[in-house]
Structure 1
Amino acid sequence: MSGPTARYERAARRAQADGRIPALTVALHRADREPWTFTVGESGNPEHPLGPDSRFRIGSVTKTFTAVLVMQARDDGLLDLDEPVSRHLEVPAHGDATIRRLLSHTAGYQREPYGDVWDTLTAPDAARLLAELDRAERVLPAARRFHYSNLGLAVLGQLVARLRGGTWAEVLTERVLTPLGLDATTAARPAEAVVGYLVDAYSDAARPEPPIDMGGVAPAAQLWSTAGDMARWAAFLADPRSVDPGARVLAPATVDEMRWPLTTTDESLWAAGFGLGLILCPDGRRAVHVGHDGAMPGFLAGVYGRRGGEGNPGGLGCAVLGSSGTAGQTNELVHELLRLTVEADPAEIRPWRPAAPAPAPYRSALGRWWSEGSEFVFAWHDGQLQARAAEAPADRPPAIFRPLPDRADTLRTVSGREAGELLRLTRDERGAVVRMHWATYRFTRVQEGFDGGPASDGPS
């Protein structure tokens, strides 16, 4: 075997050997290739040897599904992200926490539900989870800092279930898993489940870990899946148009909203951020890996899609699932494979082709303009008016404008610099654009001071 897949396989084999992982399954999904999957090791399940259909626990990757259900409910008008959870759930305490804060782990909820769940291996059911919220602590003030909380996402999962009139698992299957064809992803332990292990640090012994049903905490950590399903899910989180072109699950703009970083997970390193239910890991110039890690007794999982960066084919997602609860190589390999993909098998470079010219009303707006002493270039590409600072790196996305429906000379910035702000065009008697105001700042064809005088009129 040669080519990119040989490099992927070697990386997976190395991670399995170095991490001493009894069973490892990996998958890559991309918009321009057939999915690639690979397994190495043994399942520990005599009825179902290890293969692409083997199921692993994905732990906290489950939270990304719950977050999508919350955003669906928002888009359907069932909730507002800045509402307190008490608007929708009767809770004895901490009901002032907003949905947005819970999604971004900045509500200050303690990490786990009340009780020693990881000693007893018995999780509360949904009713008890909520009833005992007054026995849980608010360990930090709201919005103080990032503090990861299984309890917070579990509460949100129960909130969505209540709004939709079913169990969390039923709602998830109906509204996300079935529309995206993630048929191997289930809340219940499937027959194809591999055994999860604790691998001894000082010998080659591997002890099977006991199973645990997460009960009311299921929205934070319950799911089982295959690497193939999870790579497709990762591609959806990175590029929803490629996986869900009809937006049956979420509008692309809503997924964009989920990916915007609301907090950093470490104030000194700034190596990762957190959005609305999603972990964001910068990876080089203009690239970010978006997804989540997962851990359960005997299992680790890494599920991420790659956004941006040179060579990215779009719809690029990777999943690495392992049957050891201690092998950090599982979570490292997913990022390594995403990098390898764009290095060893980058997307094809599409040839440039001429297109229709800019509409006549906007042609006089094209070219170089000045504001605050800095030069900007306005251009027409891909059927849209765009702008970028003249000295901006080539890989920095431009600002993109869209005319208001009833005012062609007033445009909304829909992405990039000054997103949301207005661009107003001023024309002379012949209809040519002679001045613009963007976010209220004046743009002119020559450098001008704030008093309107040209820079060339400075004192001698």
Structure 2
Amino acid sequence: MSAAVGRYERAARKAQADGRIPALSVALHRADREPWVFTVGESGVPARPLGPGSRFRIGSVTKTFTAVLVMQARDEGLVDLDAPVSAYLDVPAHGDATLRRLLSHTAGFQREPYGDVWDTLITPDAGRMIAELDRVERVLPNARRFHYSNLGLAVLGQLVAKLRGGTWAEIVTERVLNPLGLATTTVETPPEAVVGYLVDAYSDAARPEPPVDLAGVGPAAQLWSTAADMAKWAAFLADPRAVDPGGRVLAAATLDEMRWPLTPTDETLWGAGFGLGLILMPEPKRVVHVGHDGAMPGFLAGVYGRRGGEGNPGALGCAVLGSSGTAGQTNELVHELLRLAVELDPADIKPWRPAPPAPVSYRSVLGRWWSEGSEFVFGWHDGQLQARVAGAPADRPPAVFEPLPDEPDVLRTVSGREAGELLRLTRDESGSVIRMHWATYRFTRIQEAFDGGPASAGPEPR
């Protein structure tokens, strides 16, 4: 056993013991190693001991699958994220909520469908859930602030099902689970299911929780899975280019869009945010963990992938699934293991190798430029023109430019600082670039005031 694996196992054993979790299953997925899977505890079914194939409820991690289905529909031109729900689904109320607001939990929908579903454990079917929207509250104005809503994601799941002409269960299986090979992730309760428990706070007794079929609310929290499948899913959410290079499930650029933070979850403690259906957990040094937590009676789940940072091997995802509905250690361990993975077993450092020089037409751009009194450095790396503020931290991504079709002297900023803005090059008679305008701001080789006078000349005499 390697030292790293030993530390992973110890962290998992400690979480299981401290959290008093009857069954715990954890997995790490990464681009440069075989998946690591570990289980500790008991399944609750003597005939089926706990193992890598044991399955757990993943609760609200299901929402990330529904969000991907919505984005698939958007990419195919079937929906507009800024259109109201009523444009695609016949609803008796709250039809002005947009798909984007529902995905980011900023539409103001109440948390659950009409009725005391977590008291009765009876959830409406899809038709009844939609029909009873006129009986639920809009607890906050649209776009006012973050408010988590199972109902909102359930409505989106049923919207996608209507668009595709099937049930949500059929659509998520056909369009996500099968293409990614998530064979142990199912809508229905599998034979390999472990028992979920409520562990008594004042003794070591554990009471099995009743099974719950979410029916029409299924798109928000219905799925069962293994830690290995969920670690792969987390890796997909963080690094789709590595896990799904052909974009069979979703274009990598669309996942980039889903990961952009649209709202914090707290007004003052910006420790977490929401993108389009995804939770974003910032880490030090420009790292973010992206995924979702899940909870169902007797179960907790944490499923996250790691983006950025030194030592990251790519496609780094982790899943922690537990059979206790109250052990917060489940949701803490997933982040601990992601940190340990890059600390104890970082990716190999690839040697630097010379590359072809910049194209002749862009060589006069390279080097130092000034704008607004600040110095910038333009370079050619990875086959692209890039720019950084001089002295910027090494982990801050550069601005990256791509020329417009048939306009080599007009480039679009495709990522980084001023993304979306144009960079225009001005050349002298010899063809050398002598001036640039980026986002309309002038860039020159020497430091100039806004009136064009050089800083070295000092003030004009009065």
Common topology (TM > 0.5): yes
Which amino acid letter does the alignment assign opposite residue 12 of structure 1? A
Work out whether 1:42 is the aligned partner of 2:26. no
**More divergent stretch after superposition (47-56 vs 11-20):** 47-56
Which amino acid letter does the alignment assign opposite residue 303 of structure 2? V
For residue 3 of structure 1, report the CA deviation from its aligned partner. Answer: 1.4
For residue 305 of structure 1, report the CA deviation from its aligned partner. Answer: 0.1
Residue in 2 that maps onto 1:268: 268
Cα separation, 2, equivalents of 1:172 and 1:342:
32
For residue 135 of structure 1, report the CA deviation from its aligned partner. Answer: 0.4
Which deviations, in whole Å up to 9, do the C-alpha atoms of 1:221-249 show, x marking residues without a partner? 00000000000000000000110010000
Residue in 2 that maps onto 1:68: 68
Cα separation, 1, equivalents of 2:2 and 2:382:
38
For residue 451 of structure 1, report the CA deviation from its aligned partner. Answer: 0.6
SS at match of 1:202: coil
For residue 433 of structure 1, report the CA deviation from its aligned partner. Answer: 0.3
Work out whether 1:360 is the aligned partner of 2:360. yes
Which deviations, in whole Å up to 9, do the C-alpha atoms of 1:381-428 show, x marking residues without a partner? 000000000021111000000001110000000000000000000000
Residue in 2 that maps onto 1:87: 87
Cα separation, 2, equivalents of 1:282 and 1:136:
34
For residue 119 of structure 1, report the CA deviation from its aligned partner. Answer: 0.8
Residue in 2 that maps onto 1:330: 330
Cα separation, 2, equivalents of 1:150 and 1:31:
33
For residue 430 of structure 1, report the CA deviation from its aligned partner. Answer: 0.3
Residue in 2 that maps onto 1:177: 177
Which amino acid letter does the alignment assign opposite residue 151 of structure 2? L
For residue 46 of structure 1, report the CA deviation from its aligned partner. Answer: 2.6
Which amino acid letter does the alignment assign opposite residue 183 of structure 2? D
Structure 1 segments unaligned to the other structure (5+ residues): none
Which deviations, in whole Å up to 9, do the C-alpha atoms of 1:86-129 show, x marking residues without a partner? 00011100000000000000000000000000011010000000
Which amino acid letter does the alignment assign opposite residue 130 of structure 1? I
Work out whether 1:315 is the aligned partner of 2:315. yes
For residue 356 of structure 1, report the CA deviation from its aligned partner. Answer: 0.2
Residue in 2 that maps onto 1:346: 346
Residue in 1 that maps onto 2:224: 224
Identity %: 83
Residue in 1 that maps onto 2:20: 20
Map of 1:240-279 to 2, 5 A cutoff? 240-279=240-279
Which amino acid letter does the alignment assign opposite residue 119 of structure 2? D
Cα separation, 2, equivalents of 1:136 and 1:457:
69
Which deviations, in whole Å up to 9, do the C-alpha atoms of 1:428-448 show, x marking residues without a partner? 000000000000000000001
For residue 15 of structure 1, report the CA deviation from its aligned partner. Answer: 0.1
Residue in 1 that maps onto 2:427: 427
Which deviations, in whole Å up to 9, do the C-alpha atoms of 1:160-211 show, x marking residues without a partner? 0000000001000110000000010000000000000000001000000000
Residue in 1 that maps onto 2:147: 147
Residue in 2 that maps onto 1:445: 445
SS at match of 2:190: coil
Which deviations, in whole Å up to 9, do the C-alpha atoms of 1:336-364 show, x marking residues without a partner? 00000000000111100000000000000
The TM-score normalised by the length of structure 2 is 0.99
Residue in 2 that maps onto 1:458: 458
Q: Which runs of 4+ in 1 moved over 3 A?
A: none
Cα separation, 2, equivalents of 1:114 and 1:373:
59
Residue in 1 that maps onto 2:204: 204
Which amino acid letter does the alignment assign opposite residue 63 of structure 1? K
Residue in 1 that maps onto 2:282: 282
SS at match of 1:321: strand
What's the Cα RMSD here? 0.6
For residue 137 of structure 1, report the CA deviation from its aligned partner. Answer: 0.2
Map of 1:151-162 to 2, 5 A cutoff? 151-162=151-162
For residue 289 of structure 1, report the CA deviation from its aligned partner. Answer: 0.2
SS at match of 2:248: coil
Map of 1:295-310 to 2, 5 A cutoff? 295-310=295-310
Which amino acid letter does the alignment assign opposite residue 186 of structure 1? T
Which amino acid letter does the alignment assign opposite residue 307 of structure 1? R
Cα separation, 2, equivalents of 1:390 and 1:252:
30
Which amino acid letter does the alignment assign opposite residue 189 of structure 2? R
Aligned length: 460
Residue in 2 that maps onto 1:239: 239
Work out whether 1:111 is the aligned partner of 2:111. yes
Cα separation, 2, equivalents of 1:395 and 1:220:
36
Structure 2 segments unaligned to the other structure (5+ residues): none
Work out whether 1:6 is the aligned partner of 2:9. no
Which amino acid letter does the alignment assign opposite residue 121 of structure 2? L
Residue in 2 that maps onto 1:192: 192
Residue in 1 that maps onto 2:96: 96
Which deviations, in whole Å up to 9, do the C-alpha atoms of 1:44-70 show, x marking residues without a partner? 123321000000000000000000000
Residue in 1 that maps onto 2:408: 408
SS at match of 1:315: coil
Cα separation, 2, equivalents of 1:156 and 1:269:
29
Which amino acid letter does the alignment assign opposite residue 211 of structure 2? P
For residue 330 of structure 1, report the CA deviation from its aligned partner. Answer: 0.1
Which amino acid letter does the alignment assign opposite residue 149 of structure 1? S
For residue 2 of structure 1, report the CA deviation from its aligned partner. Answer: 3.7
SS at match of 2:365: coil
Cα separation, 1, equivalents of 2:349 and 2:373:
36
